[in-house]
């Protein structure tokens, strides 16, 4: 079975509202709900779980999902909580940020088709970088230019062999691993020696971080 974990435990400090941004509305539909509807359209997905802040557990139970789990202090803790609350027959798991509502069925199905071949233990969504990259000093000056040819942005969804991802999280916990560069799950499994296949997504698929992002999302969803 393929399960989906939608991460919705963030409180949105940078966004500047009292309501977490994943529960704000675009055209009378909550942002998290848009992603849920996309995953429900994919016939291979048999289980959807939301990991959220404890204050929003009851709120999330109104959505068309199979389970709602309390999140942790950090993203990695929330993912682990989600993983350990999936059904025993879970073979593959997809991790998705609730604040990325532009996910679509073509992208999801591409992930599913790749992971089902059993040739890859992990699939990551990436997008080309079109701007120049520079490393800056702490006092605000250029330090060096970073060639962008092989540099990509890592997005979600990310899809994994369930046992591989769970094993990597258990290793992280056992080793008390706390490396800032290992922020997402694709980076985690790569750190422990598993190859990560990438899927290029074309167009805009950023997450909602600031209030202007919501305006952009509304435009793309309507057009």
Domains and CATH numbers, the chain: 2-126+153-222 (3.90.550.10)
CA–CA gap between residue 201 and residue 127 (Å, rounded): 5
The percentage of residues in the chain with a pLDDT greater than 90, rounded to a whole number, is 72
Q: Model-level pTM?
A: 0.91
Band (pLDDT 50/70/90 cuts) for residue 55 is very high
Burial class (CB in 10 A: 0-12, 13-18, 19+), 159: buried
66, 47 Cβ separation under 8 angstroms: yes
Distance (Å, rounded) from C-alpha 78 to C-alpha 84?
A: 10
Token code pair at residue 19: 């309501």
- For residue 15, is pLDDT > 70? no
| Overall average pLDDT of the 162-188 stretch | 94
Instruction: Quote the CA–CA distance of 51 and 60 in Å, as a whole number.
Output: 9
If we measure between CA atoms, which residue out of 5, 85, 9 comes closest to residue 52? 9
The residues, any chain, with a CB within 8 Å of residue 10's CB and separated by 6 or more, are 20, 21, 22, 53, 98, 99
How do residues 84-104 score in pLDDT, each as one tens digit? 999 999 999 999 999 999 999
Contacts of 178 (CB under 8 A, 6+ apart): none
Only one residue has tokens 């369930």, namely 162
pLDDT of residue 28: 87
């Amino acid at each position: 079975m393929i399960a989906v974990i939608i991460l919705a435990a963030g409180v949105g400090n940078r966004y500047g509202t009292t309501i977490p941004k994943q529960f704000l509305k675009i055209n009378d539909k909550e942002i998290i709900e848009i992603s849920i509807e996309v995953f429900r359209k994919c016939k291979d997905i048999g289980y959807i779980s939301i990991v959220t802040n404890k204050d929003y557990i009851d709120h999330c139970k109104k959505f068309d999902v199979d389970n709602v789990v309390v999140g942790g202090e950090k993203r990695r803790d929330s993912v682990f909580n989600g993983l350990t609350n999936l059904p025993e027959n879970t073979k593959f798991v997809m991790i998705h940020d609730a604040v990325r509502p532009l996910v679509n069925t073509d992208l999801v199905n591409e992930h599913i088709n790749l992971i089902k071949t059993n040739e890859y233990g992990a699939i990551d969504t990436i997008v080309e970088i079109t701007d120049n990259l520079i490393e800056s000093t702490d006092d605000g000056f250029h330090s060096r230019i970073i060639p962008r040819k092989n540099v990509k942005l890592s997005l979600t969804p990310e899809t994994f062999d369930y046992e591989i991802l769970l094993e990597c999280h258990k290793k992280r916990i056992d080793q008390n691993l706390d490396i800032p560069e290992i922020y997402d799950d694709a980076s985690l499994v790569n750190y422990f020696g598993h190859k990560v296949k990438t899927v290029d997504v074309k167009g805009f698929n950023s997450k909602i971080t600031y209030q202007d992002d919501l305006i952009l999302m509304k435009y793309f969803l309507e057009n």
